[in-house]
């Protein structure tokens, strides 16, 4: 089977939320000697981009995203099964730590963001809700993540976002992480004010921005 056909089938397996097709096509790709990273990027990720757009347009919902994400993960495991740890790391879009900030118990938005990041081939560490600032920083250091993502759904908990940036700065590790914040009361002005790196209004925008910030960081 031609490479273009396999890539199209991988994309289709995601938009059709078909885990069996995703696994079968991933095995076909390996049998044909295709580049696993290219299959992830141009096949699976292309399918997730379509699902992200449908979600933003209200034509797909969280259950559909979860099923697409399951198909994506299953195919990625097949495609990366024979890679070294270093190659697997290169295959990942990046790593992110996500949480709802200290004092805030709302996590629906955070869970949607996590799902989209995982579906876009990010390794995600979810700390849950009402996470102490010190824990966020400690876990970010422990996992050596690229991104710290924090959601605040109440104006009274927004200062925790500022505290995270301040602690990273005080510990001399601010430049090690890309810090992005969101949530209903959060704005670009607030993020600029506290010295974070990015703000996104939707989960899809968060993924796009994260990829762009990572690209810029790698390019120096």
CATH of residue 80's domain is: 1.10.1240.10
Q: Strand pairing partners for 148?
A: 97, 179
Decide if pLDDT at 76 tops 80: yes
What is residue 126's predicted lDDT score, i.e. its pLDDT? Answer: 96
Whether residue 64 sits in one domain with residue 107: no
Mean pLDDT of all residues in 32-59: 90
Indicate the helix (H) or strand (E) that contains 205.
helix 203-219
Phi, psi of 12, rounded to the nearest 5 degrees: -65, -35
Last residue of a domain, one of 52, 67, 89: 89
Tell me the C-alpha distance between 185 and 141, whole Å: 28
Does residue 49 share a domain with residue 10? yes
Nearest to 178 by CA among 113, 98, 100, 108: 98
Q: Does residue 98 sit in helix, strand or coil? A: strand
Question: pLDDT (tens digit, 9 = 90+) per residue, 157-184?
Answer: 999 999 999 999 999 999 999 999 999 9
Residues 6+ apart with CB under 8 A from 35: none
Residue 166: count other Cβ atoms within 10 Å of its Cβ.
15
Taking residues 52-56, what's their average pLDDT?
87
Tokens representing 43 are 């096949």
Angle at 51 between CA 106 and CA 45, to 5 degrees: 105
Structural domain including 205 reads 92-219
Checking if the pLDDT of 12 tops 90, the result is yes
Residue at a domain's end among 61, 89, 117: 89
Identify the bridge partners of residue 199 per DSSP, sorted by sequence position: 181
Look at residues 67, 89, 111 and tell me which one is the last residue of a structural domain: 89
Question: Do 85 and 97 share a domain, yes or no?
Answer: no
Overall number of domains in the chain: 2
| pLDDT of the residue at 204 | 86
Query: Tell me, what's the pLDDT at 164?
Result: 98
| pLDDT for 120 | 84
Would you state the pLDDT for residue 215? 93
């Amino acid at each position: 089977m031609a490479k273009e056909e396999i890539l199209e089938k991988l994309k289709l397996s995601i938009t059709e939320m078909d885990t069996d097709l995703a696994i079968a096509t991933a095995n076909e790709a390996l049998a044909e000697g295709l580049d696993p990273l290219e299959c992830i990027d141009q096949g699976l990720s292309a399918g997730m981009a379509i699902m992200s757009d449908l979600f933003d347009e209200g034509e797909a919902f969280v259950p559909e995203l979860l099923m697409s994400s399951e198909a994506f993960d299953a195919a990625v495991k097949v495609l990366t099964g024979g890679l070294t740890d270093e190659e697997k790391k290169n295959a990942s879009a990046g790593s992110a730590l996500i949480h709802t900030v200290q004092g805030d118990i709302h996590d629906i938005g955070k869970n949607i963001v996590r799902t989209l990041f995982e579906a876009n081939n990010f390794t995600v560490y979810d700390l849950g809700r009402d996470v102490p600032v010190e824990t966020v920083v400690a876990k970010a250091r422990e996992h050596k993540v690229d991104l710290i993502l924090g959601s605040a759904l109440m104006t009274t908990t927004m200062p925790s976002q500022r505290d995270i940036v301040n602690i990273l700065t005080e510990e001399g590790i601010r430049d090690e992480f890309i810090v992005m914040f969101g949530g209903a009361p959060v704005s670009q002005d607030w993020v600029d004010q506290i010295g974070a790196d990015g703000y996104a209004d939707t989960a899809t925008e968060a993924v796009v921005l994260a990829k762009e910030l990572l690209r810029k960081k790698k390019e120096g």
